[in-house]
Amino acid sequence: MTDLATYNFAYLDEQTKRMIRRAILKAISIPGYQVPFASREMPMPYGWGTGGVQVTAAIIGPEDVLKVIDQGADDTTNAVSIRAFFQKVADVAVTTHTKDATIIQTRHRIPEQKLTEGQVLVYQVPIPEPLRFLEPRETETRKMHALEEYGLMHVKLYEDIAINGRISKTYAYPVKVDGRYVMDPSPTPKFDNPKMHMSDALQLFGAGREKRIYAVPPHTEVVSLDFEDYPFEIQTFEQDCALCGAHGVYLDEVVLDDKGGRMFVCSDTDHCEDRREHGHVGAMLAPNQEAAE
Amino acid sequence: MSDNPLLKVSGVSKFYGSRIGCKDVNFELWPGEVLAIVGESGSGKTTLLNCISTRLLPTAGSVEYRMRDGNFRDLYHMSEAERRFLMRTDWGFVHQNPADGLRMTVSAGANVGERLMAVGDRHYGKIRETATDWLGRVEISADRIDDQPRSFSGGMRQRLQIARNLVTGPRLVFMDEPTGGLDVSVQARLLDLVRGLVNDLGLAAIVVTHDLAVARLLSHRMMVMKDGHVIEHGLTDRVLDDPREPYTQLLVSSILQV
C-alpha cells in the first residue's frame, strides 16, 4: 500500500490551503466580513459541511486534536463521517471531549463547556449572507454591508414582532460583530449567541457552496440585534436534561412514542456524558434505565 | 419660501450613445415648490428625473442640492454613502409602479417603518406608533397595518408608497407618474391627498407626468419637454392657458373634453 499515490496531508493541495489561509487571515483582520474564496469540490455533497471541512483542512496540523459535532452530538452521521475523513487524510488524533480538542468543527452548536484560548471553532455555514432573504441581489447586499446600511435587518425583526408578538427567530439570529458588520452566525440556535461574545477561542466560518469565509477573532464584541422594547432573549427550558439533569443548557426534544411521550436531553452529548460520569442523574435515567438507552 | 433654491440643475445632459436622452436642462427649485415635467412618451422626462435624483449619471452638467446645514453640494461629487443616506432621509421617490417602491413581502407597518429603522430607530413601539399615524394620514385604516401590500388595491399601494417616503420628513420628493394606472376616481383622491400633504409639510416636489390635469392640480410651475429638450418653462397656469410653443399648444389642445 505504501508505494501507492496518497492524498496530500489533509486532502487539499498546498496551494489551495495557502489560498484558504489567506482568506482566513483577511477574515480575521476584518471581523464579520465575508471574504470570497475559491471553494473546491470536496468528496461530500454541498450542505454537508464542505466549507467547514476546507477551513479545517487549511488550519489543521499533525499535532492537532480534532472534535467534530453535528447539532451538538459527536455520534451522528455528519460528525462521524467528517471525523473519519480527517483521521484518514490527516492522521490526526480525534476526541469527543471539548476540553481536549484544539480544533472543533461544528454544525450548528457551540459546546456547553466554555472554550479556551488556543482553541479554534470552525462552523459549517449554509448561507453566509444575513440579508439574503430580505434582499435577493448579491450586488446590493454587498453594497449594504459596505455602506453599513442595516435598517433592513430590523425590518425582519419588526415583522416577527408584528406577526408573532415577539422576535420569533430562533436560529441564525443576526449579530453585529465588533460594532461594524452584521453577520449570520450560521444556523446555531440563538441560545449560543451570547457564547460568541468575547469568546476566548477563535471562530471561523466556512461556506463551501457560497464560497465565503468569515471570522470572529478572540475577545471580539458580538451583539445580537434587537429592539429597545423587545430585547434579545435566549431560549429557556422548563425541564432539565432527562439523562444528566443539567439545567440552563440547550436541550433537544426526543419523541418516544406516538402517544405524546417525549424527553428532553442535552444537545451537547459530550457535556451530558461528562456530567453522568461525574454522578449527575436525570429524571429518566434513575427509575428506568432502558427507556433512556 | 426661502431666498435660496433647494436644488440647482445646470446644463444637465444625458446621451445614450448618439441619441439624446435629455439635453442642456437648467432650472432651480425652491423649497415648498412643485414643479411638473410634462411631455409625450419618449420626450426625456423620466431620464431627466433619474439624472436629478442620482439614479442615472448624467453625461454632462451638475446638480446641486442645499443640505440641511445650508451648504450646496454637488450630488455627483458626494460619496455614494452620503448620496444613499440623502435619498432615504431628505428625499423621497414615488415610483409609477408601487411594487418598485415597496417591499411587497413585508407588512405595511414595516414598509413605513423601514426608513426609520434605517436611520437608527430601535424602539418597536415608537416605530409602530409612527407607522399607524402615517397610515392614517394617507387614509389607510389602522387595522391593515400588519397586512402585506400584496393584499392592497392599486390606490392603497400608491398611498402606502407615499407614506413610506414621507415618514422621515423629507424636503424633496420625486414622483414619476404617481397616478399612472389608477382609475379616475382613485386618481382624484390621490391627487387631493398629495396636494394636502405637500401643502401641510411644505414639501418641494418634482412630478413627472404626461397628464396635464395632474400637472394643473399639483404644480406651481411646469416644464414642457420634447425630444430631450425643454421647450417651454413657466407658471403652470400661464403655460396651460397661454401656451407659446406650437408643440405645447398642440399638447394642450389634445386634452379630451368630456
Instruction: Give SS3 for A214.
Output: strand
C-alpha cell at B252: 394642450
Q: Hey, are the CB atoms on B103 and A161 less than 8 Å from each other?
A: no
Position B35 scores a pLDDT of 95
ipTM: 0.84
Mean pLDDT value across residues A54-74: 94
Per-residue pLDDT band at B188 (split at 50, 70, 90) = confident
Position A225 scores a pLDDT of 94
Strand ranges, E, within A59-153:
65-70, 93-94, 103-107, 120-124
How large a percentage of chain A has pLDDT more than 70? 96
Q: How close does chain B come to A143, measured CA to CA in Å?
A: 9
How large a percentage of chain B has pLDDT more than 90? 67
Q: What is the mean pLDDT of chain B?
A: 91
Q: Pairing relation of β-strands B204-209 and B172-176?
A: parallel
Rounded to an integer, what is the distance from CA B185 to the centroid of its chain? 21
Position A147 scores a pLDDT of 92
Cα–Cα distance measured from residue A73 to residue A266, given in angstroms and rounded to the nearest whole number: 9
Which chain A residues touch B124 with a CB distance below 8 Å?
158, 161, 227-230
Position A282 scores a pLDDT of 86
Give yes or no for residue B206 having a pLDDT over 60.
Answer: yes
Which chain B residues touch A143 with a CB distance below 8 Å?
80
**Cα three-residue angle B105-B111-B116, rounded to 5 degrees:** 145
Of the candidates B106, B122, B128, which has its C-beta nearest A155's C-beta?
Answer: B106
Position B60 scores a pLDDT of 94
Position B2 scores a pLDDT of 58
Cβ neighbourhood burial of B183 (10 Å; 0-12, 13-18, 19+)? exposed
Count the helices and strands in chain B (H runs, E runs).
10, 10
Which residues are CB-contacts of A13 (< 8 A; sequence separation ≥ 6)? none
Instruction: Give SS3 for A265.
Output: strand
Which residues are CB-contacts of B149 (< 8 A; sequence separation ≥ 6)? B98, B99, B102, B103, B104, B108, B111, B156, B157, B160
Mean pLDDT value across residues A215-242: 94
Of the candidates B115, B124, B146, which has its C-beta nearest A230's C-beta?
Answer: B124
CB A72 within 8 A of CB A79: no
How large a percentage of chain B has pLDDT more than 70? 99
Q: What is the mean pLDDT of chain A?
A: 91
**Other C-beta atoms lying within 10 Å of the C-beta of residue A286:** 12
**B185 vs B108 pLDDT, higher one:** B108
User: What is the number of CB-based contacts under 8 A between chain A and chain B?
Assistant: 53
Residue A127: phi and psi, rounded to 5, are -130, 105
Which residues are CB-contacts of A150 (< 8 A; sequence separation ≥ 6)? A144, A176, A182
**A291 vs B210 pLDDT, higher one:** B210
Q: Could you tell me which of B80, B173, B167, B66 has the C-alpha nearest to residue B116?
A: B167
For A88-147, the pLDDT digits (tens) are: 999 899 999 999 999 999 998 999 999 999 999 999 999 999 998 888 899 999 999 999
Position A285 scores a pLDDT of 76
Q: How close does chain A come to B136, measured CA to CA in Å?
A: 18
CB A49 within 8 A of CB A209: no
Per-residue pLDDT band at B92 (split at 50, 70, 90) = very high
**Cα three-residue angle A20-A23-A26, rounded to 5 degrees:** 150
Which chain A residues touch B142 with a CB distance below 8 Å?
none
Mean pLDDT value across residues A241-257: 92
Q: Which residue in chain B is spatially nearest to A158 when comparing CA positions?
A: B110
For B53-62, the pLDDT digits (tens) are: 998 999 999 9
Per-residue pLDDT band at A287 (split at 50, 70, 90) = low
